[in-house]
Structure 1
Amino acid sequence: MQIEEQIALIERALALIEAGGSERGAPSISPVSRYLDPERHAREVERIFRRYPLALRPSASLAKPGDSFAIDVAGLPLVLVRGQDGKLNGFVNACRHRGARLKAAGLSSQRALICPYHSWTYGLDGTLRGRPSGDDFPHAPTSNCSLARVPVAEALGFAWAIPRVLAEGESATLDIDTWLGRFGTDLRAWGYDSWVPFHEHAFDNAANWKIPFEANLETYHFQYAHRNSIAALFYDNLLMADHDRQHQRLFLPKRSIEGLRAQPRHEWRVGPHSNIIYYFFPATFILHEGDHANAFTVLPESPGRSRVIASTLIPELPKTEKSINYWRKNVASFWGALDEDFALGVSAQSTLASGTQSSLYFGATEFCSAKFHADVKAALA
């Protein structure tokens, strides 16, 4: 983020603090069917998760040729592979012979992708390089048996993909910079393209994929849900938000920001005095915390279940025990608060089918959560 914009955000925050207010939008409702309806869930997978980029893995964990990562995304098995040319490739994780998965879930490294069923062998570029008794397949020429590609790109320290097979003539490389827009430019200015993972975390979440974003796009809950963790660092229900198409940036001033009033304006920096949430539609969340970032992507599995893949990115790997402990404390602090959010989301999901109410309510300071739902609705249309 450019210095001029940092100063403008700080000025905006100090004015709100002095006025004792917060930015607000229109109150709204959220129909409970959004979280329970199987037909709507299927449309969300098809019209949203098969059409928009998702951050699936820190790039630095796929650094060497042959490094690969297999994951199921919105019902499609994917494998991301670093090619011999250094470029990232994305394929459907399915052999073109009989459809067996080439790689088990998770990270691995290999010189080729070999099917465990009949040993069909693919290069890191997805081309079929060999198969036993190849003469038995005159009806399946090698040129027709390359792995099915999916669109991929690298940006902000992550490997991004859209879980769908490339259309005829479509580029295998996403125009990710255009998609990430001005908020991607913010993060790139801090050096995110070269940041590396210190900690990674994945877990099943017994709640609809949309619920974690509702929680993390408002601060109304901070003083209550986080009273024993991070609440004391922040102002009560103070939120500032900017939008770029479906993407959102939320500025959360810490109480320490008041100390900047006594400093020269040209020395102001947001890093030590705020958290900044970057939400990239549809399902990637990056929390910028000055010298590091915590990120997660939520993947839908059913109306009432999702899968969360998360990581902590830092500028470089620690070299001393002191720095290792520093980052461990940061990770523990983040997940101490986020675990509270996810637990409350599971609690909310567990009551929605009770028939108690047909809609949930978003107040005026929860307008970013309401915008999120409006953007999901528009994408479905």
Structure 2
Amino acid sequence: MSGSIYDEVEKVIDFESARVGPRSDFPPLPEIPGGRYTSPDFHELEREHVLSKSWVCAGRDEDLRKPGDYRLWDRLGVPLLLIRGKDDKLRAFYNTCRHRGAPVVRDGSGNTRLLRCQYHSWSYGLDGKLKGVPDERDFPCLNKADRGLIEASCDTWGGWVFVNLDRDAQPLMDYLGPIVSELDCVGMEKLRTIHVQDYPIACNWKVAMDAFLEVYHINTIHPTNAGIMLDSKAAAMGLMEGGHSRMATRKRMNEGLNFVEFEGAPDIPSMPDFYRLNNVAYMMFPNLITPVEPTGFPILLFWPDGVGHCTMQAIYVAPDWGEGERPAFWDRFLPIFHDVLQEDMMNLGPIQRSLESGGFTGMMINYQERRIYWFHEEVDRCIGPGRVPAGLAVEQLLEPFVEQPLSEAAE
């Protein structure tokens, strides 16, 4: 992010803090239909057209850096094998032998020189090419060049692995857009994983996503932590192409409550003070949210487990501290952030039950919560307007407000 954009976002934060109502040119947002969170048909459309055709994060590459390193991954409901080739390229294959569909790898992770099916010993190279077939003479129609492992799209950015089941997907860097340049200052590839945790939640994945796309709730839900740390009225929402977004919320500094103020807090010195003075949270469509901090931070990933259940996966990364135990800072940070997440989640199951009860028609979204509406607009764009079931579409309204400079409004 260039200095001029930092200045622009700070200007917007000042405007948001001082305003007495929404921007005069901003449209009232219609209700988001409740059926989007409960309809099995809509859920299947999301799986087919959103999650299966978007770049999604499959974790870090720290265990996939040597040729032959592999890891199984199935968060999208299909068995994928992530493996580093002899050419140093990371690939994603379906963990499915081309003979009769048995897995070519059973262990969750490891290192290998050859992939060998666990059923009839068909063998594949690290590049997925079929190498060996026992009793090959009995397969007169076999062309080994055409029977390699089926591949999904795979790429990395800053030490994060991304996969896309669409083999014709646009390049990852193009998909992420300006977020890549904004976060260059973090040096993601230099970070290391310190903690990973799954949180099962009894709600639709979008109910959970919605909860992390605004700060309207923090004074009520987080009165002893985030509600004190942040000024919810001083928050700039940046909408980006592709459904991505940014939320920069001013911190209440000099009270010793923000993580950057903790004694012995780690620091990423390449990050400008913009990130020390503000909590800057990014949403990378479709299911990644991260509040980026110079101390280190979590990546939150939201995975559907059916219509009414999901899993939030939290992957915490930190500046590399070298040898020895992790800094004591994390023994303080992790419990606090865990408590914040638990507070965020306590309403999500009841919200899902309300949606399923017939006594709640849908989500009434305000100006502060416009990132939620933008997210839902992109879901519909991915599905395609002709496929969205009747009564479940959201009106496309926010395209004119994508990263629109607000200099005049701020004045």
CA distance in 2, matches of 1:135, 1:72: 35
Of 302, 308, 315, 1:304 maps to 308
Residue of structure 1 equivalent to 2:57 = 55
Query: Is the CA contact 1:318–1:324 (under 8 Å) kept in the aligned structure 2?
Result: no
Please point out which of 355, 361, 364 is paired with 1:361. Answer: 364
Larger CA deviation: 188-197 vs 273-282? 188-197
Moved more, 352-361 or 69-78: 69-78
SS at match of 1:102: coil
Matching of residue 375 in structure 1 with residue 378 in structure 2: yes
Residue 267 of structure 2 is matched in structure 1 by: none
* Alpha-carbon displacement from aligned partner over 1:265-315 (angstroms, at most 9, x marks no partner): xx9721222211111111111220123231022222311122333311223
C-alpha contact 2:201 2:312 (8 A) present in aligned 1: yes
Are the equivalent residues in 1 in contact too, given 2:14–2:234 (CA < 8 A)?
A: no
Q: Map 1:20-35 to 2 at 5 A.
A: 26-35=28-37
TM-superposed deviation, 1:18: 5.0
Residues 175, 302 of structure 1: CA spacing in aligned structure 2 closer, same or farther, 3 A cutoff?
same
CA distance in structure 2 between the aligned counterparts of 1:206 and 1:237, rounded to whole angstroms: 30
**CA distance, structure 2, for counterparts of residue 186 and residue 268 of structure 1:** 11
Distance in 2 (CA, whole Å) between partners of 1:22 and 1:85 is 54
Q: How far did 1:74 drift?
A: 3.0
1:22–1:288 Cα change, 3 Å: farther
Runs of 4+ in 1 over 4 A off after TM superposition: 18-25
CA distance in 2, matches of 1:76, 1:301: 13
How much has 1:21 moved relative to structure 2? 7.4
* Correspondence 1:117 to 2:119: yes
Q: Distance between the aligned counterparts of 1:105 and 1:160, measured in 2?
A: 21
* Stretch deviating more after TM superposition (328-337 or 153-162): 328-337
The worse-fitting range, judged by mean Cα deviation, of 115-124 and 178-187 is: 115-124
Cα gap change, 1:346 to 1:140, in 2 (>3 Å): farther
- CA 1:236 to 1:251, structure 2 compared with 1: closer, same or farther past 3 Å? closer
Change (3 A) 1:13 1:102: same
SS in 1 for 2:88: coil
- 2:248 and 2:254 mapped to 1: Cα distance? 12
Q: Tell me which moved more, 268-277 or 1-10.
A: 1-10
For 1:350 and 1:86, the matched residues in 2 are separated by 48
> Within 5 Å, which residues of 2 pair with 1:1-381?
1-17=1-17, 26-104=28-106, 106-164=108-166, 166=167, 175-245=171-241, 246-256=243-253, 269-321=273-325, 323-381=326-384
Question: What amino acid maps onto 1:129 in structure 2?
Answer: K
Show the counterpart of 1:261.
none
* TM-superposition CA deviations, 1:216-243 (whole Å, max 9, x none): 1111110111123322101134421112
Give 1:42 deviation, angstroms.
0.7
Offset, 1:9: 2.5
Please give the root-mean-square deviation of Cα atoms over the aligned residues, in Å.
Answer: 2.6
Aligned partners of 1:285, 1:112: CA distance in 2, in Å? 36
Compare 137-146 and 273-282 and name the one that shifted more.
137-146
Q: Secondary structure at the match of 2:239?
A: strand
SS of match in other structure, 1:286: strand
Please report how far the alpha carbon of residue 318 of structure 1 lies from its aligned counterpart in structure 2 after TM superposition: 4.6
> In structure 2, the residue corresponding to 1:9 is in which secondary structure?
helix
> 1 CA distance for matches of 2:253 and 2:88?
44
Change over 3 Å in CA distance of 1:17–1:237 after alignment to 2: closer
Query: Which letter maps to 1:359?
Result: G
> Partner of 2:320: helix, strand, or coil?
coil
Q: CA deviation at 1:193?
A: 3.3
CA distance in 2, matches of 1:315, 1:22: 39
Q: Greater shift after overlay, 175-184 or 287-296?
A: 287-296
SS across alignment from 1:151: strand
Using the TM superposition, give the Cα deviation of residue 320 of structure 1 relative to its aligned residue in structure 2, in angstroms.
4.3
Q: Secondary structure at the match of 2:17?
A: helix
Shift of 1:106: 3.9
User: Mind listing any 5+ residue stretches in structure 1 that lack a counterpart?
Assistant: 259-266
**Residue identity opposite 2:12 in structure 1:** R
Q: Residue 211 of structure 2 contacts residue 344 of structure 2 at CA under 8 Å; is this kept in 1?
A: yes
Letter in 2 for 1:301: D
- Give the conservation status (yes or no) of the 8 Å contact 2:194–2:318: yes
SS, match of residue 223 in structure 1: helix
Uncovered stretches (5+) of structure 2, i.e. residues with no partner = 256-270, 385-411
Secondary structure of the 1:324 match is: coil
